[in-house]
Amino acid sequence: MSWVLIVEQSLNGLQFGLMLFLLAAGLTLVFGVMDMINLAHGSLYMLGAFLAAALVQATGSFALGVLLAIPATAAIGMLLEMSVLRTLYARDHLSQVLATFALILIFNEAVRIVWGSDMPLAMPAALSGPVELLPGMFYPAYRLLIIGVGAAVAALLYLLVARTKIGMRVRAGASNREMALAMGVDIRRLFTLLFGVGAGLCAVAGALLGPLLAVQVGMGENILILAFVVIVIGGIGSIRGALVGAVLVGLVDTIGRAFLPLLFGLFFQPRVASAAGPAIASVLAYLLMVAVLVFRPRGLFPARG
């Protein structure tokens, strides 16, 4: 059990957590401010990845493709909000779940029709090698980029929400929607903008994770579940909660995946240890959620009250 291993696994957990944050941030704002459960958030993540892959192919440049995919996905997100999702705000959560679940299926097949079941997206060649962080401690350059971008976006979001007028209105809407309406906040425009920002964040995560995972139909579903766990742990409507929750879940999941099989390997055969390890590791995230809810039923940093 060397310190190199622990540092490397912690960095892996941080990288995963920051990408989860990008998804959770959009999701928690939509749930917190608009009181809408949006299962199609994972589909926006998938759409962002496919758009990035297509634009990278078209422009020949990774950076350009990813940068262009962000406003493209945001635009589609806003169109979606203005056309379909607006009708769901007044309805109960179950209707929202049903409707947005249908959207997942529609998006999956639509993407399959337009682009096929998967698309290649390769990381830029300059970043495909390792970086020597400390003597003897190598870490893939691309993952460092992800950590950097994730941290930068978190900082930008903080500035946006805490230091701008729009951010103030968002926080107002999250703490008390009716009062915010009464105080003259233009809720309709705010919601559309919020949705667009959430979609853009999804696109960043999708485009950056594309080279590591695969850009394929259905890639949004798995990460969506974890994103919901994150926002429950962090507190609905709170960006700070989403960040803390995401990093916690990312670390617990990665370190669990890394060390539980080792632990089980002491008692069980390799095949059993290798199957049980990741299975229990994925349960750890939910156990963490239960533990947090026991002590803080509204999450770590609830936006209301």
Partner 1 sequence: MKNPLLTAVVVSIAAASLPAQGADKVKIGFISTLSGPSAALGVDIRDAFMLAVKLNGGKLGGLPAEVLIGDDQFKPEVGRQLAEKDVKLDKVDFLTGFVFSNIMLASVPVAFENKIIYISPNAAPSPLAGKQCNPYFFAASWPNDAYHEAAGQHATTKGYRSVYMLAPNYQAGKDSLEGFKRFYKGSIAGEVYTQLGQLDYSAELAQVRAAKPEAVYIFLPGGMGINFIKQFVGAGLSKDIQLITPGFSSDQDIIRAVGDPMLGTFDAAHWALDLDNAANKKFVAAFESEYKRLPTVYASQGYDTALLIDSAVREVKGKIENTEGVRKALKAAKFQSVRGAFKFNRNQYPIQNYYLRVVGRDSQGRLVNKTIGTIFKDRGDAYVQDCPMK
Counting contacts by CB under 8 A, is residue 5 touching partner 1? yes
- Between 141 and 166, CB nearer to partner 1: 141
148 binds partner 1 (CB under 8 A): no
Q: How far is the CB of 259 from partner 1 (least distance, A)?
A: 9
Q: CB atoms < 10 A from the CB of 271, how many? A: 8
Q: Is 216 in the site for partner 1 (CB under 8 A)?
A: yes
Cα-to-chain-centroid distance, residue 110 = 22
Return the axis-axis angle of helices 165-175 and 141-163, rounded to nearest 10°.
Answer: 80
Q: Which of 31, 45, 62, 139 binds partner 1 (CB under 8 A)?
A: 139
The CB-of-139 to partner 1 minimum distance in angstroms stands at: 7
What is the smallest separation between the CB atom of 270 and partner 1, expressed in angstroms?
4
- The residue (of 121 and 242) whose beta carbon lies closer to partner 1 is 121
Contact (CB, 8 A) for 209 and 12: no
Tokens of 148: 């950097």
Cβ closest to partner 1, residue 106 vs residue 262: 262
CB of 45 to partner 1, least distance (A): 15
Residue 256: how many other CB atoms lie within 10 Å? 23
Give the length of the chain: 305
> Is residue 261 a contact residue for partner 1 (CB under 8 A)?
yes
Q: Is residue 110 involved in binding partner 1 (CB under 8 A)?
A: no
Q: Is 138 in the site for partner 1 (CB under 8 A)?
A: yes
CB atoms within 10 A of CB 276: 17
* Residue 100 in the binding site for partner 1 (CB under 8 A): no
Enumerate residues 185-204 that contact partner 1 by CB under 8 A.
none
- Which residue bears the tokens 């997942």? 104
Q: Is 280 in the site for partner 1 (CB under 8 A)?
A: no
Give me the least distance between CB of 207 and partner 1, in Å please.
Answer: 16
Among 134, 214, 283, 291, binds partner 1 (CB under 8 A): 214
For residue 38, state whether it binds partner 1 (rule: CB under 8 A). no
Q: How many CB atoms lie within 10 A of CB 125?
A: 8
The minimum distance between CB 76 and partner 1, in angstroms, equals 23
List 139's β-bridge partners, or say none.
131
**41 touching partner 1, by CB under 8 A:** no
Q: According to DSSP H, which parts of the chain are helical?
A: 3-34, 41-59, 62-83, 93-115, 141-163, 165-175, 177-182, 187-209, 219-234, 239-265, 270-295
Give the number of residues in contact with partner 1, rule: CB under 8 A.
36
State how far the alpha carbon of 287 is from the alpha carbons of 21, 165, 173, 253, 294, in Å. Answer: 19, 38, 31, 11, 11
Which single residue is written with the structure tokens 């390890």? Answer: 277
Which one of 110, 185, 263, 274 is in contact with partner 1 (CB under 8 A)? 274
Report if residue 44 touches partner 1, rule: CB under 8 A: no
Contacts of 29 (CB under 8 A, 6+ apart): 170, 174, 194, 197, 198, 237, 239
Binding interface with partner 1 (CB under 8 A): 1-2, 4-5, 8-9, 12, 15, 116-118, 120, 128-130, 132, 138-143, 212-214, 216, 254, 257-258, 261-262, 270-271, 274-275, 278
